[in-house]
Amino acid sequence: MVVGKQQQLTATLTPTDITNYTTASAGVSINVLTPTQKIQQMIAFIQGITTSGELDEGSSYELIAILNAAETNLARIESDPSVGNPFAVSADLRYFIIQVTDKIDKGMLSPTNGQTLIDAANNIMNSLNNQGR
């Protein structure tokens, strides 16, 4: 798996009874995926359910094309915010959700896998909104 930003979390526990216990410290690293990496995970997920036979090739191609457009718009924004449209990525992902919902409604995609994709798209939009985009 490709790793995004790594964040370090450290906690120090200081006991109230210092006679019988000592201070302890622990640290943990948390890998945080970038929005681009999350899109790549979604593409891999779609390829997996296509390979398993759940999703047909045409539907797979359509959904991946939408995600590729979102990834391209995201790269444009990251390379030069003055050139990219900050609303394009969210628009692409909203369109993706509409297409996934349509495929669920038509029985072309299971509700479980469809919801997984919808949740992932919403997660990316939320993370972009939290970044001030």
The pLDDT tens digits for 8-18 are: 667 777 777 77
Q: Residue 81 has what pLDDT?
A: 72
Q: Which domains does the chain show, CATH number per domain?
A: 35-130 (1.20.1440)
Over the chain (133 residues), the average pLDDT of each successive run of 10 is 53 72 70 88 97 96 97 86 77 97 97 97 89 54
Q: What angle do CA 44, 69, 90 make, to 5 degrees?
A: 95
| 83 residue type, one letter | V
Rounded distance between C-alpha atoms, residue 35 and residue 90, angstroms: 11
Strands 24-32 and 5-13: antiparallel
Q: Residue 109 has what pLDDT?
A: 97
Q: Residue 133 has what pLDDT?
A: 41
**pLDDT tens digits, one per residue of 16-38:** 777 777 666 777 767 778 899 99
